[in-house]
Structure 1
Amino acid sequence: MDTTILKQMARLITNEKQLNEFITYGGVGAALETIDGNIYTGISIDTACSMGFCAEHSAIAEMLKHGEHKIKALVAVDSEGHAVPPCGRCRELISQLSSTNLQTIIEVQDGVQVLLSEILPYDWKKSLSDQW
């Protein structure tokens, strides 16, 4: 899958701004495509005391608001438009939404795409697979 359009959409919303002495936002942008073909975007929020959240979480919240939870592809970019991999917290959230999300295509660096299962290889939920 070509993630070029997702990457472009993420780059368009990435524009870091300082709200006040405690909060900056928009330093990372993310775009995801669901298996139904819908695209959702989100930006990061960074706070002085770690209460913020990642751009991927923001895009996922938007997706969930619209009743979807299965992700086909996801890209996050920094302020220069370079792909950045999702953190462990984001990887785990994506995997908990649906077991099919282990097949989500993620651009982990410019031009390098992998499946979520490749960057979450020792998934603790596999032992619960009959219940999941």
Structure 2
Amino acid sequence: MGRDELFNHAMAARERAYVPYSGFRVGAAIRLKNGQVITGCNVENASYGLTNCAERTAIFSMIAQGFRDVQEIAVVAEGEHPVTPCGACRQVLAEFCPAATRVTLYNTAGQSLVMSVSDLLPFAFSKEALQSE
């Protein structure tokens, strides 16, 4: 499966977004090392703080299904330029993905920006910071 197929999975997930308040649909697709793809979309709530982003939905679904071996991620949203993940999503990606994991950000026209998890969140807070001596 090529990168275009991962974009297509993210686009399909985007169509399933529940966004009655913002109308801003986002889709994410994670390719695992075994080739399987897990997707997520943003899900809004009338209590805005309970809204969940597409990237976190995909990561949490991956964990719930018993996987941890992320190979690559695609995120797609409408905009003039590719949209980057919010800070909370960047932290969650840093928790569950190797720092070098490829993250391709797309707009719906197919323009892309390729980054790594460490590009998105340099100096990420990690479990190593919680180690006591």
Q: TM-score range by the shorter chain?
A: 0.7 to 0.9
Note if 1:122 corresponds to 2:120: no
Q: Deviations over 1:85-118 (max 9, x none)?
A: 22111111121125xx212101134332111111
* Aligned twin of 1:75: 74
Tell me what 1:43 maps to: 41
How many residues get paired? 124
Distance 1:127 1:42, change over 3 A: closer
2:57 is matched with: 58
Deviation at 1:121, TM superposition (A): 1.1
Letter matched to residue 28 of structure 2: A
Decide whether aligned partners of structure 1 residues 129 and 72 sit closer, same or farther in structure 2, where only a CA change above 3 A counts: farther
Q: Unpaired segments of 5 or more residues in structure 2?
A: none
Q: Give the share of equivalent positions with the same residue, in percent.
A: 24
Q: Judging by fraction of residues, say which structure has more strand.
A: 1
Q: Which amino acid in the other structure matches residue 11 of structure 2?
A: R
Query: TM-score under structure 1 normalisation?
Result: 0.75
Q: Do the aligned residues in 1 keep the contact of 2:40 with 2:56 (CA within 8 Å)?
A: yes
Show structure 1 runs of 5+ residues with no match: none
The separation in 2 between residues aligned to 1:119 and 1:17, in whole angstroms, is 25
Aligned: 1:7 with 2:10: no
**Residue type matched to 1:128 in 2?**
A
Q: CA deviation at 1:43?
A: 0.8
TM-score (norm 2): 0.75
Contact 1:30 1:56 in 2 (8 A): yes
Aligned CA-pair RMSD: 2.9
